A and B are shown apart, each in its own frame.
Chain A
Amino acid sequence: MSQPTAPEMATAPFLPQGTVYGTLLNALDEWETLSPQMSAPPYKAAPKAPVLYIKTANTWSPCGSPITVPTSTTEVEVGASIAMVIGTPAHQSTVHEALSHVAGYVLVNDLSLPHANFFRPPVKYKNLDGFLGIGPRCATPAEVGDPNRLRLEVRIDGFLRQTVDYARLVRPAAQLLADVSEFMTLHPGDVLLLGCGAQRPLARAGQRIDISAPGQPTLGTSSNTLVAEAA
């Protein structure tokens, strides 16, 4: 694990203890963008259950660490999301009590190789080494308040490139957690992303990506710099 470089950072950046689950199509703008294709092959219908994927431990990059862009691509897609960190087992939770299982919230940068087809699991696009920027900090539910009121700003080299509005979700935080827990237990330490939104910006080696939540300084700023893979 790399050490924090910022002198003001008193503790090591947050890293998960459990499995990290990402969520496709949970942002309304993302749903609306894909909606015209949903009834056509290969999908044939809109998804009913939450559409999930896993960001394996080899993808984890602590805040501040460089992330390597492989030589096979020139650009990567930025996936800014707020993520729920589970504190107590959530098994077939009701919507009403779902958020009582959340120990905190953390910013993540779910990087992907750009891809437009969502029929097969996205392992070769999303599970490259380093492809999940995490942290810096797991903020408590008391600090964050209602997660559906959060808004994220994504900056690349300091320029605002995307905002993600968590008031506009297909499944708000409690609904998402309850619906996932219907078929799989979320264990303490597991992490569930709320969703990355449409119009995800692209970035390339040499660029710096900063994700922050205005009005929520306790989450900090999730920062990673992309570097080119050594030939």
Chain B
Amino acid sequence: MKHARVQYDGAAHDATEQAGQLQLDDGRLVGFDTVQWLPPLQPTPRPRTILALGLNYADHAKELAFKAPEEPLVFIKGEGSLIGHRAQTVRPPGVDYMHYECELAVVIGRAAKKVKRDDAYDFVAGYTVANDYAIRDYLENWYRPNLRVKNRDTCTPLGPWRVDTADVPNPMNLALSTTVNGKVTQAGHTRDMIFDVPYLIEYFSSFMTLNPGDLILTGTPDGIVDCRPGDVVVTEIENIGALVNTIRTP
């Protein structure tokens, strides 16, 4: 099943996809165009942990002139950076290079501590699409990628759907692509991840507990380009969804 979270008629609702419409948690059927799409996540009692991978596809690591890492390169994002489907992301004035990153996002389903890779999928509730924008002008070599690059308001679109694990038999066999104004600029495949989803769950849960609603953004493949105000950026993952975002000025 495909789950969404939307703002409709003055309130936030959980919703599911029903034959090209949204069925709200109160039963109403509404069109995709009538709602404001929020990140497809249910609220958590504490701020969710958002882990994000850098250089997790060999081709992208090469693109950025890094050798492939020997252990996951991970950074953390705050919830304040998340926005929903069909929202707008700010390009700051005066920067030279702002790029999208199409990423498979794993949504944790139950508390995971010291989980072995063979059991890892038991702790996943579902998957969604993340667009982990970066503004490379702000990169500094202190806790890189630093938060000024990766934790900006509006710079992590997520959605539109959270898809149950039952509907994603193999998350390591999904095509990813990005279009900018309709032109394909990025094409990759989750099988090319350096550290796959079970590895990442085993690795993180070896030293920190992952809790329901936590996210792992699993990194992006080759094919990043600069995006300008007005550009429509669609990051899409096979069977998960197509996340639409538009770049704007402040």
Contacts and interface: CB of A to CB of B under 8 A. Distances in A.
A129 B207 CA distance: 7
A19 B208 CA distance: 17
Given A56-B76, A127-B207, A128-B207, A185 B47 contact: no
Interface string A78-95: 000000000000010000
Interface in A6-60: 16-19, 21, 24-25, 42-45, 47-49, 51-54, 56-60
Contacts, number: 113
Of A44, A45, A57, chain B has the most CB atoms within 10 Å of the CB of A57
Interface in A144-171: none
Contact of A183 (B143, B145, B148, B211): B148
Interface string B15-48: 0000000000000000000000000000000111
Chain B contact residues, majority secondary structure: loop
Given A51-B143, A56-B208, A120-B143, A184 B76 contact: no
A25 B142 contact: yes
B80 interface: yes
Contact of B80 (A45, A118, A124, A184): A184
Given A48-B140, A56-B49, A184-B153, A123 B74 contact: yes
Chain A contact residues, majority secondary structure: loop
Nearest to A129: B209
B81 A184 contact: yes
Contacts of A184: 78, 80-81, 147-148, 151-153
A121 interface: yes
B144 interface: yes
Contact of B143 (A16, A58, A118, A187): A118
A127 B153 contact: no
Contacts of B51: 123
Contacts of A48: 140
A49 B148 contact: yes
B138 interface: yes
A114 interface: no
Contacts of A43: 141-142
Contacts of B49: 56-58, 127
A70 interface: yes
A18 B47 contact: yes
A206 interface: no
B143 A53 contact: yes
Nearest to B250: A92
Contacts of A59: 208
A128 B49 CA distance: 12
A19 B49 CA distance: 9
Contacts of A45: 140-141
B148 to A, nearest CB: 4
Nearest to B92: A183
B142 A118 contact: yes
16 contacts: A19-B78, A21-B78, A24-B143, A44-B141, A54-B76, A56-B208, A57-B211, A58-B211, A60-B46, A70-B207, A118-B142, A121-B143, A127-B76, A127-B208, A183-B152, A185-B153
Instruction: List 4 tightest A-B contacts by C-beta distance, closest first.
Output: A57-B46, A19-B78, A56-B49, A54-B76
Given A18-B47, A121-B74, A184-B153, 8 more contacts: A16-B47, A43-B142, A53-B143, A56-B208, A57-B49, A58-B208, A187-B80, A190-B78
